[in-house]
Amino acid sequence: MAYKITLIPGDGTGPEISEATVRVVEATGVSIEWEVQEAGLDAAEKYGSVLPDQVLESVRRNKVAIKGPITTPRGGGFRSVNVALRKALDLYACLRPAKSYPGVRSRYQDIDLIVVRENHEDLYAGIEFERGDPAIRAVSEICETNGFPAIREDAGLSLKVISEFGTQRVARFAFEHARRYGRRKVTAIAKDNIMKFTDGLFFAVARKVAEGYPEIQYEEMLVDNMAMQLVQKPELYDVLLLPNLYGDVLSDLCAGLVGGLGVAPGANIGDEIALFEPVHGSAPKYAGQNKVNPMAMMFSGVLMLRYLGEGQAADRLENAMATVISEGKSLTYDMKPSRDDPTAVGTSQVADAIIEKLK
Ligand code: NAD
């Protein structure tokens, strides 16, 4: 029986890399019925919303989705569709593997890290007050009553919120993932020496969850130290568990360790629903040029196949991609030694080369 999966091609270069990804996933032989759904700028023109209801309904029904990037215009307009999707579907865990493949240009080899980032809370919860908002005065008065300094009148305010509920479920996700894939260690990362009641709570809850997984080593690290450690000794780490803001920053650092955005896959996962997507954005300046690298979305497809329980197909696709990378021929400009390398191929030719290896 075919899996029914929602496919959101996105905008900018999204449709091109989605098309290439669909072709390589299908070439593994796994039978998939794609339910294509539009979201983003084009959907806004057609349906009056960047995230039409039918998109959410489709993902809720199928439980598994894969999407290309979606543009978020700067300065007003609408809030990010990507964030809206994660919130509306309660996708609380962001999963970002960072793995080295021979042939990808990078300062490091043999990196195999998994970043698990909490997706809803922390300073990214969006609870913010603009400078001059009377609410800031009210908060300032509460601060003063509790013996803290007043908030300056010319300040803006963003609230950092970390709960037991939010931390517990993302910590469980990290440990379950570690157990399922035979990983040896989970490192929780925060800054509890400064933020005792938010980051301190994050550590306390993660520590408690760790007790349920005695076969997996657990440790805690301060985020500033961790930034240095990851650059100096990345091989010491395995699964990294972080609150939202630190997770955002360090997951990009980890992507940088293994060759950057062109090969960085991701997933946003909740209790019942999973949405797979590349880490990079819509790279609009290259839209329609058959130019950008489809590998980040293809590796997201590998994650999706694993999530579906199609481990063999996932391994075959990953190996075919690894072979194409190590041969160094059928690669897009960003993976070549120089950006204007005349041997660079286009998005769809990368898919062709991978499909050839899958035969
Ligand atoms: P971007 O990731 O689109 O581009 C950053 C740089 O990386 C650019 O030089 C781009 O050309 C290059 N790049 C990106 N993907 C590439 C690929 N597959 N192959 C080769 N080169 C690639 O980031 P940006 O320019 O900051 O964002 C563009 C738009 O995408 C913005 O509207 C942003 O909000 C949105 N965005 C969406 C998502 C998402 O859908 N999840 C994520 C990040 C950014």
DSSP for 18-39, please give it. Answer: HHHHHHHHHHTT--EEEEE---
Tokens 């007790």 belong to: 211
User: Is 266:116 a contact under the CB 8 Å cutoff?
Assistant: no
Nearest of 299, 281, 303 to residue 82 by alpha carbon: 281
Nearest atom in ligand 1 to the alpha carbon of residue 70 is 40
Enumerate residues 6+ apart whose C-beta is below 8 A from 21.
Answer: 66, 294, 297, 298, 300, 301, 351
Q: How far is CA 59 from CA 104, 180, 316, 344, in A?
A: 33, 24, 26, 36
**318 CB under 6 A from ligand 1?**
no
Strand partners, 97: 114
User: Which residues of the chain carry a pLDDT beneath 50?
Assistant: none
Tell how many helices (H) and how many strands (E) occur in the chain.
12, 12
pLDDT tens per residue, range 324-352: 999 999 999 999 988 889 999 999 999 99
**11 CB under 6 A from ligand 1?**
no
Nearest atom in ligand 1 to the alpha carbon of residue 266 is 41
pLDDT tens per residue, range 79-137: 788 888 999 999 999 999 999 999 998 889 889 999 999 999 999 888 999 999 999 99
| pTM, to two decimals | 0.94
285 as an active site residue: the answer is no
308, two tokens: 């579906």
112 as an active site residue: the answer is no
Tokens 């500033």 belong to: 224
